[in-house]
Chains A and B, each alone.
Chain A
Amino acid sequence: MGDMIVRIMGEGQVRLSDSHLPELNKLDDELLAEMEGGDGPGFRRTLTALLAAVRSRGTPLPDDSLEPSDLILPSPDATLEEVQELLSDDGLIPG
C-alpha cells in the first residue's frame, strides 16, 4: 500500500500517500531534536509546519473509521512539556 494514516491529536485522522514520508520525517526529526533540546519556539514552529503539511497533503478519514494510525502527532496547542511527558515515561528516549 502506498498510503498511511496520521492522527492529529484532538482533531482526527487523515490518510496520505507514503510519498510524503521523507518530507514529514525531516520535520519530525527536527521536532524531536527541538523537544529534547528544550527549544520551545523551534518546537512550536516545527510542530505547526508538520501539522500544516499533514493537513494539506492528507484527506480526512470519516468519523466512523476504526483504522489505527501509523503516525500520531500532538495537538496544535500541545506544549513542549506536555509532549515530553507523553513520551518520557516510555523509556524510548535514549539517555
Chain B
Amino acid sequence: MDAGPVLWVLSQVLELESVRRGRAKPMSGVMKRMGMIFRAKANKALDRAEDPRETLDYSYQKQLELLQKVRRGVADVATSRKRLELQLNQLQQQSSKLEDQGRKALALGREDLAREALSRRAALQQQVTDLETQHATLQGEEEKLTLAAQRLQAKVDAFRTKKETIKATYTAAQAQTRIGEAFSGISEEMGDVGLAIQRAEDKTAQLQARAGAIDELLASGALDDQSGMHKDDIQAELDRLSGGTDVELELQRMKAELAGGPSAGQQAIEGGTGQQQSQQQPQDTPRFDKQ
C-alpha cells in the first residue's frame, strides 16, 4: 500500500518499538512522552535507510507532498466556509420573509397562519445559530492551516538548503549526524502538520454532510428558496386571502372606517399606513394587534 504523506507520518508516529527499546527511564508526563514518540519516529525512519543521504531526498519528496496536501486543505476549508456563508444568507432571507408573512397574516386577521409562519421562523433561526457556530469553527481551522502551511514551507525550504549542503559536503558515514539533526526537526513538524490536516479534514467532512442536508432542504422547498419559482403554502394562503393585491386589507380598513366614528376612522388609516411601512420595517408589529 502506498501511504500518503500523512499516513506515512502517522504510521511512524505510532510505530514505537524503538521507543520501547530506547526508553531509558519511565516517562512521567504527557509532554515528555509525546516528545519521545516524535523522536522515535524520526530515528526509526533514519534507521531504515541504507544510505542516510537517500533519506534526505525521500523525506523531501514527502515534505512537498504534505505541503501540497495542506494547501489543498486550506482551499477545501475555504470552499466549505463560502458554501456555509451562502446558506446562511439564504436562511436569513427566508427568515425575514417568514416574519413579513407572519405580520401580513396577522393584519389579515389570520393569527393561525401568523403563528405557523413564526414557528417556522423559530426553527430556521435555530439552523442559523448552528451554522454560525460551524462557520466560526471553519474560520478557525482555515487560519490554523494557513499558518501551518507557512511554517511548513519555511522549514521545507530550510531543509532543502541543508540537504544539498550535506549531500555535497559529507560522505555517507559523516552525513549521519548532520542528517539526524535536520531530519528530526522536519519530521516532527510533518507529524504535527499531518495530524492537524487530518483533524481539519474530519471537521470539514462532518460540516459538509450537514451543509448537504441543508442544501437539500432548501432545494426541496421545505425552506422556500429565493428563486421565487415556487411559493410556499403560507404565501399561497396569503395571496388567496388578499387576492394578491391587498384588496382584503383595503376592505378591512374601509369597514373599520365606516363602523367607527371619525376617530376610529383615523385609527384605521394610521393602521393602514403602518401596514405599508411595515413591509420595509419588520419591527412595527404591535400596530396590527387591534385587527
Contact = CB atoms under 8 A, between A and B. Distances in A.
B185 A66 contact: yes
Given A10-B148, A63-B150, A72 B34 contact: yes
Nearest to A73: B31
Looking at A32, A66, A83, which has the most chain B CB atoms within 10 Å of its CB?
A: A66
A90 B159 CA distance: 28
B286 to A, nearest CB: 45
Interface string B147-160: 01011001101110
Chain A interface residue number, banded: 35 or more
Given A10-B196, A74-B34, A94-B26, A63 B188 contact: no
Nearest to A36: B30
Contacts, number: 110
Contact of A28 (B30, B144, B192): B30
B33 interface: yes
Contacts of B19: 90-92
Interface stretch (B35-43, B99-107, B272-280): B35-43
B184 A68 contact: yes
A12 B144 CA distance: 11
Given A7-B192, A9-B195, A66-B159, A89 B29 contact: no
B32 interface: yes
A94 B20 CA distance: 12
A70 to B, nearest CB: 6
Given A63-B154, A91-B16, 18 more contacts: A7-B38, A9-B192, A10-B148, A10-B192, A12-B151, A28-B28, A29-B29, A31-B30, A35-B30, A65-B158, A66-B158, A66-B159, A68-B42, A71-B32, A73-B34, A87-B34, A90-B19, A92-B36
16 contacts: A25-B29, A63-B150, A63-B155, A64-B158, A65-B158, A65-B185, A66-B158, A68-B39, A68-B181, A71-B31, A71-B34, A87-B33, A89-B16, A90-B14, A90-B16, A94-B26
The 7 closest A-B pairs by CB, nearest first: A28-B29, A63-B154, A66-B185, A68-B184, A72-B34, A64-B158, A64-B154
